[in-house]
């Protein structure tokens, strides 16, 4: 029998790559779809016809219980979140509800549907394996570099705080109920399907617009922040690998290389044969109330225990995104309309 996966956040970047990957591995894939008419869900539908959609929302406990009852999954991947860090200051309470409390609601749905009593302390219980999309934003103001599974957390945004709650809750359900529940502490990962608000895609779209004569400048915030950027297609393989391990454990996933936003900009403009200094304008209004200055993963545990390695370098990733956006805009695509996905 084919294994069944339920993915929350299926209409996002990672959800689409994970669904594609699991389908290629012979899984039956179901995704939680939110809202009455969600253009991002239609975009996913165009790309992947074989996904079953079930209605639900991380704000709605009953809908998550129904989704688990309907799908009867072997594996649940909780990727749904408000994931844009600046938005988490503007809508801090909503971020706490979706990105933090949403994890509790999903774990409770699994616990209830698996018949695990809330008073049971546990040996391993239940059949459903759970993956939580934790984040390097939990490290925030870092105390050591590179960051490992045991580096202390000091989140710097309401988003980071909400993810830290979800992370500890996932560990707690593993320890309290013996559930197979793991967190992947994933560092920034990008692709041509990345949302246009994140810096890599903002830069690749900006470069493409300038190259095609559709814009004359690109406005950015903090150019000195450092991130460990990898390719999303590689990172969804790691999510799947974590749920196939014999014992449930948390893993850091990243490349182990870090670059500044300035490096990103220079690499992207150079890939299009342009001189970035002629076009990039820095804007204080785009700086954050509290910044995460430096992130760099130590993915040794994942390499040794799971055999996971990234396959796309920073330079290849940036070139891939610039090339894809030049093609998208040349073909008349509109990234703001959520209409198309490579």
Closest CA to 342 of 322, 316, 315: 322
Q: Does residue number 80 form part of the binding site for ligand NDP (CB under 6 A)?
A: yes
The piece of 65-73, 194-202, 207-215, 321-329 that touches ligand GDR (CB under 6 A) is 194-202
Q: How far is the CB of 25 from ligand NDP (least distance, A)?
A: 19
Binding partner selected for residue 261 from ligand NDP, ligand GDR, none, CB under the kind-specific 5 to 8 Å limit? ligand GDR
Contact pattern for ligand NDP over residues 6 through 45, marking x by CB under 6 A: --xx-xxxxx----------------x-xx--x-x-----
Cα-Cα-Cα-Cα dihedral sign, residues 200, 204, 206, 207: positive
Tokens of 103: 């994890």
| Cis, peptide link before residue 146, omega less than 30° from 0 | yes
DSSP structure string for 282-323: E-GGGS-SS---B--B--HHIIIII-----S-HHHHHHHHHH
Question: Is the distance from CB of 19 to CB of 29 less than 8 angstroms?
Answer: yes
Give the integer Cα–Cα distance in Å for 143 and 155.
11
Shortest distance, CB of residue 145 to ligand NDP, whole angstroms? Answer: 18
Binding segment (CB under 6 A) for ligand NDP, from list 55-63, 208-216, 320-328, 329-337: 55-63
Interatomic CA distance for residues 150 and 179, integer angstroms: 21
Closest CA to 162 of 107, 108, 99: 99
Select which of 8, 99, 151, 164 is catalytic: 164
Would you count residue 83 as binding ligand GDR (CB under 6 A)? yes
- 83 is an interface residue for ligand NDP by CB under 6 A: yes
270 is catalytic: no
- In the list ligand NDP, ligand GDR, none, the entry touching 57 (Cβ below 5 to 8 angstroms by class) is ligand NDP
CB-nearer residue toward ligand GDR: 105 or 202: 202
From the list 156, 227, 237, 259, which residue makes contact with ligand GDR (rule: CB under 6 A)? 227
Q: Which helix (H) or strand (E) holds 227?
A: strand 226-227
User: Active-site residue numbers?
Assistant: 164
Q: Which residues bind ligand NDP (CB under 6 A)?
A: 8-9, 11-15, 32, 34-35, 38, 40, 57-59, 79-83, 98, 133, 135, 186, 188-189, 195
């Amino acid at each position: 029998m084919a294994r069944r996966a339920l993915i929350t956040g299926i209409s996002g970047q990672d959800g689409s790559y994970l669904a594609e990957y699991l389908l290629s591995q012979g899984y039956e894939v179901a995704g939680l779809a939110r809202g009455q008419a969600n253009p991002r869900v239609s975009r996913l539908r165009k790309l992947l016809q074989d996904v079953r959609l079930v209605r639900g929302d991380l704000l709605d406990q009953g809908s998550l219980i129904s989704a688990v009852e309907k799908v009867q999954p072997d594996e649940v991947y909780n990727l749904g979140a408000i994931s844009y860090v600046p938005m988490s200051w503007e809508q801090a309470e909503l971020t706490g509800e979706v990105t933090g409390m949403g994890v509790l609601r999903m774990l409770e749905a699994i616990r209830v549907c698996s018949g695990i009593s809330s008073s049971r302390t546990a040996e391993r219980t239940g059949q459903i394996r759970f993956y939580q999309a934790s984040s390097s934003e939990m490290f925030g103001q870092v105390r050591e570099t590179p960051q490992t599974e045991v580096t202390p957390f000091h989140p710097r945004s309401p988003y980071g705080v909400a993810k830290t709650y979800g992370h500890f809750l996932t560990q707690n359900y593993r320890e309290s109920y013996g559930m197979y529940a793991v967190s992947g502490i994933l560092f920034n990962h990008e692709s041509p399907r990345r949302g246009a608000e994140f810096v890599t895609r903002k830069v690749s779209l900006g470069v493409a617009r300038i190259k095609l004569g559709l814009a004359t400048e690109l406005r950015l915030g903090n150019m000195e922040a450092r991130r460990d950027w990898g390719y999303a297609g590689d990172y969804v393989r790691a999510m799947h690998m974590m749920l196939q391990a014999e014992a449930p454990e948390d893993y850091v996933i990243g490349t182990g290389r870090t670059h500044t936003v300035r490096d990103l900009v220079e690499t992207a403009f150079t890939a299009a044969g342009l001189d970035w200094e002629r076009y990039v304008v820095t804007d204080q209004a785009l700086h954050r109330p509290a910044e995460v200055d430096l992130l760099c993963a130590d993915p040794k545990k994942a390499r040794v225990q799971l055999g996971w390695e990234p396959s796309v370098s920073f330079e290849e990733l940036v070139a891939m995104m610039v090339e894809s956006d030049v093609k998208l805009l040349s073909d008349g695509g509109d990234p703001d309309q959520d209409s198309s996905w490579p």
